[in-house]
Structure 1
Amino acid sequence: MTVSRIHLPVFSQLLPARRHRDADAHSRAVAAFARAHIRPEFTAQQTADWWTWIVPDARQSLYHGNCFNQVLWAMDTYAYAKDVITALHDELLSGPTARPSASDWGRALATAWQPLAQDMTPAMRTRFAAAVADFLQAQATEADIRNSQVLHHDFHSTLQLRCRTTGGPWAFPLIEHAMGIDLSGLLHQPGPLPELLQAATEHGSLVNDLCSVRKEILDDDQAGTLAALMATEGLSLQQAVDRVCAEITARETTLLTLIAEISASPLGNRADVQSYLAAVTAFAAGNLHWSLITPRYHGVGYQWPGHVASWYSMHPHRPDFIPDTDAPAQATAEGSHLGSAAPARTSAAR
């Protein structure tokens, strides 16, 4: 597929994003782990920076959680082999042990997993292991899709699968751990907190698919929501991009609405819930910001114009972001904060 450029709007409801105060030192330490346990060239993607954008207010060390993330990011980059993913899934479900793993991936995973597991509450450890195991199972399913090149599902089915891989469901227990809280009991009960988690996960998946569009086209990757919309609904790439952008905006509206509702309820009086609401907002904003600037999706050396409506030219060697000077004026990012008036909740985000 040959595509010259697409138009991207500006997403202003959750921005600006903030970065952890020790971001640079942390990213260097995690990059050293990646060089030692993954591959030296992997650090050029700067995935270690992602964690510093999505957990800016961490109260505990980010190191082991981000090291674990690096292994998952790297698996998404290098290891689509279903037998490798299945073996790691089986190892993870057996729990943190000292026995050697059968693969380099398993050894890297265990290096980060064992100190994390020892520092988590049993309930959080169970949630985290289940989320990563589900991620690995979903990765195996996406491996089948990539290998077949013909298997497409509708948008909503594809989104639910992407939520299990690119939406970062494993990241939320790690975020709680970094924030020094554990909402395992509340998140297993019906109510607004699980709804908030689902909206944040869908937002993360959609942002990933939108911002990685150039990479997926160059890789002929058919597993994402953009490819599903084009294959099953007959949309052009720009039409698929517009649809995904509308879905992202809907999730942002839902996030802000739910946060306002929870904050105004008795549940919102709890300090751990207040921390969680702030953390979910930071995750959504930080993931969006990082996805727009990361070399993982856009290559090295491009110029990002900031949070403005842009034309995105997808050259093979690097993209160009060209500000759209004809776009209507947008609300400033500074206008969106946790305590602002909540917009009406939209059913499109369900």
Structure 2
Amino acid sequence: MLAHLETLHLQENNLNGSIPKEISKLTFLSELALYDNSLEGELPPTLGNLGNLTHLFLDRNKLSGQIAPNIGNLKSLSILHLFKNQLSGPIPIELGNLKSLTELQLHENNQLFGPIPIELGNLKFLVKLDVSENQLSSSIPSSLGNLGSLNLLHLFKNQLYGPIPIKLGNLKSLIGMELQENLLNGSIPSSLGNLKSLNLLYLYKNRLSGPIPIELGNLEFLARLDFSENQLIGSIPSSFGKLKSLDFLNLFKNQLSGPIPNKLGNLKYLTDLELHENRLIGSIPSSLGNLKSLNILFLYRNNLFGPIPIELGNLKSLIKLDLSENRLSGSIPSSLGNLKSFEYSTVV
């Protein structure tokens, strides 16, 4: 017997069958990597006896059943990867005991249900939390705002409801926040404007309402922002013109009103601007002609009026332009003929 084995790496093979419960006898084991096989059956509860385990990689198999609560006994565990299996049942509250954990990835199991345990807020060293693409149904625990080391928060494609906790604005190390495709309601907290390291903010396909906080204009490293398909009202904040790193701005299918801010023309890295299906009024700012990297400009189904700016002819990278179903007037600028990259254009 391999009584003193410390690492067992059998990943990326064609292994099948179940995980032998006898693995629990390898009490010196610190790394167990069985990912990317065809292993089936339940997680052996005896895995909770491996007190020296720091890395547990069981992802990309066909494991089923529930996550055993005694996984929470693995006090030395730093990385827990169980994603892309067929696990079901709730996330055990005992995982909140894993005080050394830096990565918890349970995404794409599709059958995990119940709440996100508030106890996960105890994991002070957690860098990655991904429970996306399951069937979780609860509010987002405000205790997640205690995770000061967190870089990535992925909760998308669940059935989460209620408001976005104000305390998420405490996550000063956060780079990516993906809460899209849930049932979240209420307003977008202005506290998210404190997330100065944020690169990606996805809240689309929820039931969020109220105005877009002007404080989001403080996110100088933000590259991708998508709030589409909600019930947001009010105007597009002119503070968005300060988001100099932004390359993707999607606000379509809301109830936004007022004019398109001239300052959006400052976003020189923007490749995708989709503001369609809102209640925007006023003229199309000529400053949009400064967006030399723009590939997509969709402004259709609003209440925009006045002429089409000739400056749009400067958008040499533009591939798709749709200004249809507005109240635009005047002639079609001949400058649009300069746009050699076009795939399609709808301007009427």
- What's the TM-score once normalised by structure 2's chain length? 0.23
Q: Which has the higher contact order (CA 8 A, sep 6+)?
A: 1
Higher helix share: 1
